[in-house]
Structure 1
């Protein structure tokens, strides 16, 4: 039931992607508004996740889960009946708001329910695999709903998931919360939310030029606000994000890799969906089904990776996985206007599935290794926040690559579809570069041996061994 929650949260990041062409025509969205339908969800979700995690810790994780579920359903209904761009973008932002309460509560409940042992490894493997495949599942479901019903059902379908989640939570879940003196870090919340928002908005303006006043101004403001956030966190009694959660080398590396994965799943996946529909002429359902190969490969590889993880440890998976994903993206960068699915798309998706499975199995367990129960919600929120913010920034940056390459093609007199294809190819190349950076991060920051222990520092700064079991 908790894994289903993760599926819904990740799924909603992409389910509307496949419906965007029809929603754009129906509501008269501009290209900028089309992008913000995706960005609004990821940005609000990522910016408020830390606060959502602390609310879950202090207020009660089961209670936060239920409120998040119900609010998410209400926002979905609002979006399903949107009459203009403002309604749709606002509804997506509200979905992100309640997802920011729902997601860390679910992951924190999983953390305290499986504190150690083989069951914990299995639980996180299942949780990560389902959440990781949610992006592709969203494309398939969105395609089916758009083609046979309406793009509006890509939002309204959440009501069924919400009903199942609420009923399951009332029956199965037990309340848990952090003990002790709990106060909210309001200044930390304000600075991190505005700082992340400024960064994402600054990157979205980069299409106009990296040297423009708006781009430089918002990026600089974002950096200053995030620096202020770090300063605040070192001085408040109950920080929104205890720096001990992210300063651990292993967890810090896992968070950085999660951000890169988010950029690929949210950013590159959107442009693949556009290529399948606009250039290859696929109907929404067919375009969604075209991504099933990646999901099938992920689900097939996860059990194998879970069995091999105790033998080799997490480090090889976290290095090799991103390299394989980068290889898949390099294959996708070879797309052409007249290229076929089997020859130009499928091989890349298969490699993406293999690499992502290798990453998903150990990733969230690494990100939460050694976290104290009092910080479970904050750590869980950081896991999700890094993915969503990475996706928001990635989508904005990839859009710049796409726009520049497509504009260059049009200026050179190339046909429109060829110019679009140039843009999509540039996005996949940029995403491949990001995944190679993730492999380097894993090589420097994820440590461990074949016998499975991980090295992390204790409260006194001494290295201790923590078993993956």
Structure 2
């Protein structure tokens, strides 16, 4: 039997990854209209985003384990099918709570499908150099997916309805579900069991933390619900670590964190995505509510940064050969920090050009490179049996970082809101700067530990 056509397989994998990544932001442009239609508070509105992101990130590791045990193609197809149904439900949601529940169902489905995408991509590569090219393209899809979602969401919101930003997944999902069994090669199944205790404690722990932060933005830090939620989150996450230490087949082998480069990649990704998600989340509202742009104009306002994300695919390898990975990582994080700080200077009198566009382009350069490097750093040098868990952790850091970023900066926004919306947006953007400061500090530490002279290539050695 001849091997599946490579180009079709690559299209299916990257197309599905883009679809599920952009769904983290496709409703961002529509947030003002969604808030108006369902009468959401700012805290409740954040759950339209966080319900998807938390379910997605919290169950990713279990999804990765399911792919190992049941076959990655089978789990991938099942996840896409469920995602299609959940998208239909979200697009037709009659009430706010129904929309949030459907978004959570989308996240569960994405947690099943996404871990298999990277594993299938790596398994289908020809050699180390080919893996490097595929991983760079995959990273660009993830990095640009958020801004692509905002663009598409803006188009649908203005020309049709915000609902079509969700309903568009239905025909795409049906095509992928039909073609994947034919064109994607399956992977070998491993024997073992599911770590349900680890999956539940990690997911519920992160959900409790995020809920606590959002509750604090509305009721204050002294609120009983806030305190109980934050405490429960900490206890559950401690329980998660203890479970992973003793369970025979953990969803998160703690040995993955023994490597400084991998641990730094996971933590760094959580920080920069946390800052970037929050920027996009609040910037969409700033452009419409302060600068007076329509949803369509807001969507197209992100086109340049989307192009910059993809452009970085073609410059990473030559820059890496010249500078080495540690230096390039620190430089890219510095550029992203500068762009975010520049964007935080916006005010009521700002204009899209140059006050928004130029900082976004700078952010696109810095984050585009950093995301590629951190994707590779997160899965480099892992043993074959840990490939699924490592690739799952890459996506967990991405989704959990985004959710925490929005939750934390919603507090910052709410605290500054009595001084007016412009002051609140300024405070939220400034808060994003500190995420990038922390990411840069971490990058410098990792660079020192691994050695600034390192010439580690952008390669993924896991299979």
- Show structure 2 runs of 5+ residues with no match: 1-10
Q: Which residue of 1 aligns with 2:3?
A: none
Structure 1 range deviating more: 84-93 or 27-36: 27-36
Q: Which residue of 1 aligns with 2:8?
A: none
Say whether 1:27 aligns with 2:28.
Answer: no
The CA distance in 1 between the partners of 2:39 and 2:188, in whole Å, is 46
DSSP-derived class of the 1:174 partner: coil
- Show structure 1 runs of 5+ residues with no match: 410-418, 455-464
The CA distance in 2 between the partners of 1:177 and 1:255, in whole Å, is 27
Alpha-carbon offset, residue 167 of structure 1: 3.8
Verify the 8 A CA contact 1:81 1:152 in the aligned structure 2: yes
DSSP-derived class of the 2:455 partner: coil
Structural mapping, 1:361-380, within 5 Å: 361-380=372-391
Q: Which residue of 2 aligns with 1:290?
A: 301
The CA distance in 2 between the partners of 1:209 and 1:403, in whole Å, is 10
DSSP-derived class of the 1:184 partner: coil
* CA 1:108–1:284: 2 relative to 1, 3 Å: same
Q: Which residue of 1 aligns with 2:48?
A: 37
Question: How big is each residue's C-alpha offset from its partner over 1:137-167, in whole Å with a ceiling of 9 and x where there is no partner?
Answer: 0111000011111111010011132133224
Alpha-carbon offset, residue 317 of structure 1: 2.3
Equivalenced residue count is 447
Of 49, 57, 62, which aligns to 1:46?
A: 57
Say whether 1:453 aligns with 2:463.
Answer: no
Verify the 8 A CA contact 1:20 1:34 in the aligned structure 2: yes
Structural mapping, 1:56-135, within 5 Å: 56-114=67-125, 117-135=128-146
The CA distance in 1 between the partners of 2:120 and 2:272, in whole Å, is 23
Structural mapping, 1:70-469, within 5 Å: 70-114=81-125, 117-179=128-190, 181-207=191-217, 208-407=219-418, 409=419, 419-446=420-447, 447=450, 452-453=455-456
DSSP-derived class of the 1:234 partner: helix
The CA distance in 1 between the partners of 2:318 and 2:172, in whole Å, is 31
DSSP-derived class of the 2:345 partner: coil
Verify the 8 A CA contact 1:12 1:138 in the aligned structure 2: yes
Question: How big is each residue's C-alpha offset from its partner over 1:210-232, in whole Å with a ceiling of 9 and x where there is no partner?
Answer: 34333232222211211111111
Verify the 8 A CA contact 2:379 2:460 in the aligned structure 1: no
Alpha-carbon offset, residue 263 of structure 1: 1.0
The CA distance in 2 between the partners of 1:425 and 1:116, in whole Å, is 47
Q: Which residue of 1 aligns with 2:6?
A: none
Alpha-carbon offset, residue 243 of structure 1: 0.6
The CA distance in 1 between the partners of 2:135 and 2:451, in whole Å, is 18
* CA 1:202–1:342: 2 relative to 1, 3 Å: same
The CA distance in 2 between the partners of 1:229 and 1:205, in whole Å, is 23
Alpha-carbon offset, residue 449 of structure 1: 5.7
DSSP-derived class of the 2:59 partner: helix
What TM-score, normalized to structure 2? 0.92
DSSP-derived class of the 1:345 partner: helix
* CA 1:115–1:370: 2 relative to 1, 3 Å: farther
Verify the 8 A CA contact 1:313 1:448 in the aligned structure 2: no
The CA distance in 1 between the partners of 2:277 and 2:354, in whole Å, is 24
Two-structure CA RMSD over aligned residues (Å): 1.9
The CA distance in 1 between the partners of 2:344 and 2:423, in whole Å, is 9
The CA distance in 2 between the partners of 1:311 and 1:448, in whole Å, is 15
The CA distance in 1 between the partners of 2:221 and 2:122, in whole Å, is 42
What TM-score, normalized to structure 1? 0.91
* CA 1:15–1:466: 2 relative to 1, 3 Å: closer
Verify the 8 A CA contact 1:27 1:83 in the aligned structure 2: no
* CA 1:67–1:342: 2 relative to 1, 3 Å: same
